[in-house]
Amino acid sequence: MRLYQILTMRGLAPHGYCLLWDPLLIWLHVISDAIIALSYFSIPVVLAVFLKRRRDVEFGWLVSLFAIFITACGATHVMSILVLWVPAYGAEGLIKAITAVASVLTALAMWPLLPKLIALPSPRLLQQINHDLHREAAERARMEEQLRQAQKLEAIGQLTGGIAHDFNNILAIVMGNIERATLGIDKPDRALGALANAMEASQRAAGLTEQLLAFARKQPLQVQRHDLSHIAEELVRLIALTLGEHIVLVTQLSKAPLPVDIDRQQLEAALINLAVNARDAMPDGGTLTITTDEVDQGEVLIMVSDSGTGMDSRTLERATEPFFTTKPVGRGSGLGLSQVYGFVQEAGGRLTIASAPGEGSRVTITLARGQSGAWT
């Protein structure tokens, strides 16, 4: 009821009347209020566009509240123009009351937010952080590159060490056979046999350097079909004499063919490494046994066992690690079993070592049986 009375004009005089309808005063008020109102109304539009584009803004609700407050302010100035001619003082007061509520709410909301607003990072600070991040990323990339280089060098070191090592093994066979030929020069058959062995071993050494060159040229491995027993047989003939008289060499080769798809040079190097290890483990003599057999339809194996010193669990655990050796400096480089391991990995096979102190060692290489394709 009261509200109705306030809103109805009840014979009040319009505001222009107070100004005595002086055109100058009237227009001064009208133009000023109109400009203020338009400016006020434009601000919420700016804020709306801002909020629409920046949906991530944290205090969006505060911006909306502020927009309501500003709109209400604009409306009061429109009313100021209206009341010059129409005495709608009730409606004008009501809009002022709404503005008052909005202003109080906005002020109340803004004060507690002040610390947070102050803490917002400035564009300069953000730029600095961005710059630091870029520098850090560049630094990391540089360090990664350095690490890659170091790893490459290490890999090259291992590779050359490994090849030199295998080459040495063959060289020992060549020298052993030449020595044998020299000693047995009065027994031509024996001397000729030893020389033939030396020649064959030299050819293998040439094969090894070929392998190194192939690696340098990034050629793939020479994987071909071979018979496991056949390779073992040939190699045994070659190494038998160099093992020394105190070691008995026994072969247990499968009669059935055992086809495998491997790089022959690598398998031979692995078998020589295993034979040399077995020899070193039997300084007072013993038996070295080379066995080939089929595991099942899909797999075949070649095993080198000895009746030597054997390995304790700690040695067994680390035996295939590159450069791990228990031999005195100058005697072992620790690259033998790591070559064997590397070969088996590449061939997609399995390497198992069974050994205990005083009970000898048994190293088994299990390979997939070559299923189809031609023999070489």
Instruction: Report how far residue 273's alpha carbon sits from residue 267's, in angstroms, rounded to the nearest whole number.
Output: 10
The binder of 165, among ligand ATP, Mg ion, none, by C-beta within 5 to 8 A per type, is ligand ATP
Find residue 223's DSSP bridge partners. Answer: 263
Please choose which of ligand ATP, Mg ion, none residue 267 contacts, taking the beta carbon within 5 to 8 angstroms, the exact cut-off set by kind.
none
Closest separation between CB of residue 247 and Mg ion, Å? 15
* 220 C-beta neighbours (distance < 10 Å), count: 8
**Contact flag: residue 308 with Mg ion (CB under 5 A):** no
Pairing of strands 361-368, 299-306: antiparallel
Q: DSSP assignment, residue 283?
A: T
Is residue 324 a contact point for ligand ATP (CB under 6 A)? yes
User: Which segment (64-72, 73-81, 180-188, 320-328) binds ligand ATP by CB under 6 A?
Assistant: 320-328
Residues 6+ away with beta carbon under 8 Å from 313? none
266 binds, among Mg ion, ligand ATP, none (CB under 5 to 8 A by kind): none
Q: Name the one range near ligand ATP by CB under 6 A: 65-73, 146-154, 230-238, 322-330.
A: 322-330
Name the β-bridge partners of 353.
363
Name residues contacting ligand ATP, limited to 354-373 (CB under 6 A). Answer: 361
277 binds Mg ion (CB under 5 A): yes
* Minimum gap (Å) between residue 259 Cβ and ligand ATP: 27
Binder among 277, 289, 292, 364 for ligand ATP (CB under 6 A): 277
Residues in binding contact with ligand ATP, number by CB under 6 A: 24
Q: Measured between alpha carbons, how far is 247 from 241 in angstroms, rounded to an integer?
A: 10
Interaction partner, residue 247 (ligand ATP, Mg ion, none; CB < 5-8 Å by kind): none
Question: Sheet of 286-294: strands edge to edge?
Answer: 247-252, 286-294, 299-306, 361-368, 350-355
Instruction: Select the residue interacting with Mg ion from 308, 310, 336, 360 (CB under 5 A).
Output: 336
Q: DSSP string spanning 189-220?
A: HHHHHHHHHHHHHHHHHHHHHHHHHHHHTTPP
Residue with smaller CB distance to ligand ATP, 95 or 288: 288
Residue 158 touching ligand ATP (CB under 6 A): no
- Enumerate the β-bridge partners of residue 293: 301
Q: What residue 327 binds from ligand ATP, Mg ion, none (CB within 5 to 8 A, per partner kind)?
A: ligand ATP
∠ at Cα 224 (222, 227), nearest 5°?
A: 135
SS3 289: strand
Among 311, 347, 365, 367, binds ligand ATP (CB under 6 A): 311
Task: Choose among Mg ion, ligand ATP, none what residue 338 binds, the Cβ cut-off being 5 to 8 Å by kind.
Answer: ligand ATP
Q: Per CB under 6 A, which of residues 159..178 are in contact with ligand ATP?
A: 165
Strands 247-252 and 259-263: unpaired
Closest CA to 158 of 346, 333, 287, 296: 333
Residue with tokens 């790893």: 151
* Residues in region 278-297 near ligand ATP by CB under 6 A: 278, 281
Tokens of 209: 């350097």
List residues near ligand ATP by CB under 6 A: 165, 273, 277-278, 281, 306, 308-311, 315, 319, 324-327, 332-338, 361
